[in-house]
Amino acid sequence: MMRTIRHMVLALCSVFILCGTVHAAESPLAVLQTQIDQILNVLKEPNYKDPIKRVPLRAQIEKYVHEIFDFSEFSARTVGRNWPSFSDAQKERFDKAFANLLLITYLDKIQGYNGEKIEYSGEVLSTKGDRAEIQTIVTLSDGKPVPVAYRMMLKNGKWVVYDVLIENVSLIKNYRSQFQDVLTRGTPEQLIERVGSPGQRASGPIHRQLTDYFMTAEQRFFSQSGRCVCVPPLCCP
233 upstream amide cis, omega within 30 of 0: yes
Tell me the average pLDDT of the chain. 75
Residues in the chain: 237
What digits encode the pLDDT tens for the residues 24-68?
Answer: 347 999 999 999 999 889 988 888 888 888 889 888 988 998 999
In a domain, 11, yes or no: no
How far apart are the C-alpha atoms of 51 and 30, rounded to whole Å?
32
pTM > 0.75: no
State how many domains the chain has: 1
In a domain, 143, yes or no: no
List, in sequence order, the alpha helices (H) in 27-118: 28-43, 54-68, 71-79, 88-109
Give me the amino acid identity at 55.
V
- The confidence score (pLDDT) of residue 26 equals 77
In a domain, 142, yes or no: no
Whether residue 71 has pLDDT greater than 70: yes
Residue 124 to residues 66, 67, 153, Cα–Cα distance (Å): 23, 21, 12
Given the DSSP bridges, would you call strands 131-139 and 158-166 parallel, antiparallel or unpaired? unpaired
Q: DSSP label at 47?
A: G
Whether residue 21 has pLDDT greater than 90: no
The domain in which residue 209 lies consists of 19-114+169-225
In a domain, 8, yes or no: no
In a domain, 159, yes or no: no
In a domain, 26, yes or no: yes
In a domain, 235, yes or no: no
pLDDT confidence bin for 169, thresholds 50/70/90: confident
In a domain, 218, yes or no: yes
